[in-house]
Chains A and B, each alone.
Chain A
Amino acid sequence: MKTDLDAVRTAFRAEATELLAGLEKDFLALESASDPAAIESVLRSVHTLKGNSLLMGFPAASEVAHRVEDLLARLSHRTRPVTAELVTLLLQAVDTLRVMLAAHGSEGREAPDVPEIQRRLQEAAGAELPTDSAPAPEGATPEKAAEAPVPVTAERTLRVGLDRLDRMLDLTGEIAISRGRLTAMLEQAHRYSPQELLEAHRDADRLYLDLQELVLKARMVPIGRAFQPFARTLRDLCEASGKLVRLEVSGEDVEVDTAVVDLIRDPLLHLVRNAVDHGIETPAVRKRLGKEYYGTLKLRASHEAGSIVIEVEDDGAGLNRERIRARAQALGLLQPGEERPDAELFLLIFTPGFSTAERVTELSGRGIGMDVVKRNIENLRGSIAIDTREGRGTTIHMRLPLTLSIIEGFSVKVGEETYILPLQSVLECVELPETEKRPGHTGVLNLRGQPLPYLRLREHFSVEGPPPARESVVVISQGRGQAGLAVDALLGQGQTVVKPLGKVFQDVSGVSGSAILGTGRVALILDVPSLLQKALRNLPAAAS
């Protein structure tokens, strides 16, 4: 029976974690607009949490939730105005509950100062006059709380809408029926024509495909889940640093695999902290520089050529080229007098132990460093780039592959193999002109008066056998320009279920995943940018 109880505990924790995340978001929203209806909904969440905690034999958490409820009731009856101090207090209560929850599950975890937060909540709720709860004492800064992870356990759960699950169950039922029908028909196969059998099989197949798509979709979540906690992080950072930062988020709806959302969180957190700590100036400095009083931090997500691009942009001080150069020389990464292009030079900040901060502030120098950010991104088989202008700000671009998802693919044939290109990067297809028929790894063809460099996949992949009579070129967008891939034949577009290639191939560039074709064969999905980059690097060798 212990396992049953464990399951209940797990469910409780998962729900409580979600409730707390929701509360955090709602409290932040209260600060910008105190809407009685919103308070009512927050009250309901707190009440649920209170009830659940009590039910789970966790009276301490229930008590804290109760105090929060009290305080919220005052807010809803408008006997207390919603002030920044109150929101801070409420957020601290959320943090306390989080730590309590984590401590509840595991031994040896330090429980926070619960009586203190209870006292302050009570005070805030009870006092008719504006309390002096004012800025939180140093020890209880939200900073420390933000650090307190929401770890609970390592188990990974995903909430799936009940109607989606219902539909899955329906589909499995329908599949069971059509399987039975198919078996019955096959047992009496002589009575049916091949067409009838094929038809029955196709009926079943459609159901399989529906189920597959549904299951895949259930794994895809909006990236907004990873962005959401940053409203809170920024608020805390601002409070601790005296800076003012506005958060602008876009592309929250871009769907990615839940695994990507999980893994991108830590690197993002560090980049956001870094931007506030090292990038954005204090209001006074900004005013002096003639900038807007408020700093702006932008989190953006978009789909690009089968990848997700996530950008963290700030309008702060930007990177100081000279200081980075000096630091790189001091660390022996650059020879005196050695010059590097900006893009390369700025990437040096991802070297372990590299920090241009003149002083290590309270906010920086903790937890993971920029080198860890880069490593995490690379572990996801992604890449990172920096765009910065001194005095104007910095943008960090992260390009991540979709680990598991469906993409629109464009299939081409090279030799015996089928390769899939992400459709987003395909612009058009043209026939390879007669004049370009000579073999070779690369060439340049005339595309409506513009030179188009192309890579011949057949040679690049060392496919044996003579080339076909007609070759085609797929024109792809590459960075800001265009390039071509010469292939044997064009097969057309279709939806592709991406299967990761696995650890054995983690260092193979030019291929981002694979897909299983209708024939049962495995086709590779090409990573166009890295393929072209590789071609570029191999050029001198190919020429010799």
Chain B
Amino acid sequence: MSQPAASSVVQYLSFFIAGEEYAVGILQVREIIEHDSVTRVPGAPAWIRGVTNLRGSVLPVIDLAMKFGLPPSTINRRSCIVVVEVAFQGEKLVMGMLADAVGQVLDLGSGDVEPPPAFGTPVHADYLAGMGKAGRKFILLLDIDRLLNHQELRAASAVTPERAAS
């Protein structure tokens, strides 16, 4: 999805989660909104913070920190929600990702992106599209489509007895 085309420059939007800088392809980003009240949905996986009102439609908000196995994000003055469009079970879905702060827009050429290392990153390598080089820093490029379609999403929710019986 966010594989950079050969020899072209791809733009990424970076944001911070638990002190680490992550980025997603800017074409997947719809907008950035201020963090507002998020209504918890009982029974949903813990890393789904809940739902919020995006100009009249209901937007699911996920906490990537929890998805990565880190403590839940705490809301601060700079907290915001990055609204992204992801492919989920064959459909386009609009979702919000909770971020501690928004970083910058990065222009990365194909030479600036390294494949993700097998270990050592705070995020499982499966969820990474690569490591972006920005100056002397590495920024973790997330593959959010894969992140959301991961089995966990379904497995975490309750299995109804009817389904178990059939």
- Number of residue pairs spanning A and B whose beta carbons lie under 8 angstroms apart: 83
Which residues on the B side are within 8 Å of A523 (C-beta)? 39
User: 10 A-B residue contacts at CB 8 Å?
Assistant: A344-B165, A374-B166, A461-B40, A462-B42, A502-B58, A502-B93, A504-B44, A516-B53, A521-B53, A524-B42
Which residues on the B side are within 8 Å of A508 (C-beta)? 41-44, 157-158
Beta-carbon contact of A499 and B58 below 8 Å: yes
Which residues on the B side are within 8 Å of A344 (C-beta)? 165
Beta-carbon contact of A507 and B42 below 8 Å: no
Beta-carbon contact of B43 and A511 below 8 Å: yes
Beta-carbon contact of A522 and B39 below 8 Å: yes
What's the minimum C-beta distance from A454 to chain B, rounded to whole angstroms? 17
Whether B10 is near chain A, meaning CB under 8 Å from some CB there, is no
Beta-carbon contact of A417 and B40 below 8 Å: yes
The answer, among B53, B89, B158, for a CB contact under 8 Å with A509, is B158
Measured in the bound complex, the distance between the Cα atoms of B60 and A417 in whole Å is: 16
Measured in the bound complex, the distance between the Cα atoms of B165 and A351 in whole Å is: 9
Q: A417-B40, A499-B58, A522-B51 are in contact. List 7 more A-B contacts (CB 8 A).
A: A417-B39, A462-B42, A505-B44, A507-B158, A508-B42, A516-B56, A521-B53
Whether B95 is near chain A, meaning CB under 8 Å from some CB there, is yes
Which residues on the B side are within 8 Å of A502 (C-beta)? 58, 60, 93
Given contacts A503-B88, A507-B154, A534-B158, is CB(A522)–CB(B166) below 8 Å? no
Beta-carbon contact of B160 and A509 below 8 Å: yes
Beta-carbon contact of A499 and B41 below 8 Å: no
Measured in the bound complex, the distance between the Cα atoms of B165 and A350 in whole Å is: 11
Beta-carbon contact of A511 and B166 below 8 Å: no
Which residues on the B side are within 8 Å of A521 (C-beta)? 37, 39, 53
Beta-carbon contact of B95 and A510 below 8 Å: no
The answer, among A378, A511, A534, A537, for a CB contact under 8 Å with B41, is A511
Whether B79 is near chain A, meaning CB under 8 Å from some CB there, is no
For A508, give the chain B residue with the smallest CB separation: B43
The answer, among A347, A503, A505, A520, for a CB contact under 8 Å with B162, is A347
Whether A88 is near chain B, meaning CB under 8 Å from some CB there, is no
Which residues on the B side are within 8 Å of A462 (C-beta)? 42
For B94, give the chain A residue with the smallest CB separation: A502
Binary CB contact string for chain B from 145 to 163 against chain A (1 if under 8 A, 0 otherwise): 0000000011001101111
For chain A residues 510-526, which have a beta carbon within 8 Å of chain B? 510-511, 514, 516, 520-524
Measured in the bound complex, the distance between the Cα atoms of B163 and A394 in whole Å is: 23
Beta-carbon contact of A511 and B162 below 8 Å: no
Beta-carbon contact of A520 and B43 below 8 Å: no
Given contacts A347-B165, A503-B88, A504-B93, is CB(A520)–CB(B48) below 8 Å? no
Which residues on the A side are within 8 Å of B36 (C-beta)? 520
Whether B57 is near chain A, meaning CB under 8 Å from some CB there, is yes
What's the minimum C-beta distance from A150 to chain B, rounded to whole angstroms? 25
Measured in the bound complex, the distance between the Cα atoms of B38 and A520 in whole Å is: 10
Measured in the bound complex, the distance between the Cα atoms of B117 and A20 in whole Å is: 63
For B163, give the chain A residue with the smallest CB separation: A378
For chain A residues 460-476, which have a beta carbon within 8 Å of chain B? 460-462
Beta-carbon contact of B42 and A461 below 8 Å: yes
Whether B52 is near chain A, meaning CB under 8 Å from some CB there, is yes
For B93, give the chain A residue with the smallest CB separation: A503
Which residues on the B side are within 8 Å of A505 (C-beta)? 41, 44, 48, 60
Measured in the bound complex, the distance between the Cα atoms of B166 and A351 in whole Å is: 6
Beta-carbon contact of A510 and B43 below 8 Å: yes
Measured in the bound complex, the distance between the Cα atoms of B51 and A508 in whole Å is: 13
Beta-carbon contact of B37 and A520 below 8 Å: yes
Beta-carbon contact of B158 and A501 below 8 Å: no
Beta-carbon contact of B153 and A501 below 8 Å: no
Measured in the bound complex, the distance between the Cα atoms of B34 and A520 in whole Å is: 14
Measured in the bound complex, the distance between the Cα atoms of B56 and A417 in whole Å is: 18
Which residues on the A side are within 8 Å of B161 (C-beta)? 537
Measured in the bound complex, the distance between the Cα atoms of B50 and A371 in whole Å is: 33
The majority secondary structure among interface residues of chain B is mixed
Measured in the bound complex, the distance between the Cα atoms of B56 and A462 in whole Å is: 28
Going nearest first, the 3 A-B pairs with the smallest beta carbon separation are A507-B157, A522-B39, A461-B42
Measured in the bound complex, the distance between the Cα atoms of B161 and A521 in whole Å is: 33
Which residues on the A side are within 8 Å of B162 (C-beta)? 347, 383
Which residues on the A side are within 8 Å of B58 (C-beta)? 499-502, 514, 516, 522
For A416, give the chain B residue with the smallest CB separation: B37
Measured in the bound complex, the distance between the Cα atoms of B40 and A344 in whole Å is: 34
Which residues on the A side are within 8 Å of B42 (C-beta)? 460-462, 508, 510-511, 524
The answer, among A374, A461, A507, A514, for a CB contact under 8 Å with B51, is A514
Given contacts A521-B37, A522-B52, A524-B39, is CB(A504)–CB(B95) below 8 Å? yes
Given contacts A350-B166, A505-B44, is CB(A499)–CB(B39) below 8 Å? no
What's the minimum C-beta distance from B40 to chain A, rounded to whole angstroms? 7
Which residues on the B side are within 8 Å of A514 (C-beta)? 39, 51, 58
Beta-carbon contact of B88 and A504 below 8 Å: yes
Given contacts A499-B58, A510-B43, is CB(A504)–CB(B48) below 8 Å? yes
For A383, give the chain B residue with the smallest CB separation: B162
Which residues on the B side are within 8 Å of A417 (C-beta)? 39-40
What's the minimum C-beta distance from B30 to chain A, rounded to whole angstroms? 15
What's the minimum C-beta distance from B58 to chain A, rounded to whole angstroms? 5
Binary CB contact string for chain A from 348 to 392 against chain B (1 if under 8 A, 0 otherwise): 001100000000000000000001001000100001000000000
Which residues on the A side are within 8 Å of B57 (C-beta)? 499
What's the minimum C-beta distance from B94 to chain A, rounded to whole angstroms? 9
What's the minimum C-beta distance from B117 to chain A, rounded to whole angstroms? 30
For A516, give the chain B residue with the smallest CB separation: B53
Binary CB contact string for chain B from 84 to 98 against chain A (1 if under 8 A, 0 otherwise): 000011010101000
Measured in the bound complex, the distance between the Cα atoms of B140 and A19 in whole Å is: 59
What's the minimum C-beta distance from B21 to chain A, rounded to whole angstroms? 26
What's the minimum C-beta distance from A461 to chain B, rounded to whole angstroms? 4
What's the minimum C-beta distance from A403 to chain B, rounded to whole angstroms? 13
Residue among B42, B53, B160, B165 having the largest count of chain A Cβ atoms under 10 Å: B42
Which residues on the A side are within 8 Å of B43 (C-beta)? 508-511, 534
Which residues on the A side are within 8 Å of B39 (C-beta)? 417, 514, 521-524
What's the minimum C-beta distance from A324 to chain B, rounded to whole angstroms? 14
Measured in the bound complex, the distance between the Cα atoms of B164 and A351 in whole Å is: 12
Which residues on the A side are within 8 Å of B165 (C-beta)? 344, 347
For B148, give the chain A residue with the smallest CB separation: A504
What's the minimum C-beta distance from B24 to chain A, rounded to whole angstroms? 18
Measured in the bound complex, the distance between the Cα atoms of B158 and A256 in whole Å is: 28
For chain B residues 44-65, which have a beta carbon within 8 Å of chain A? 44, 48, 50-53, 56-58, 60
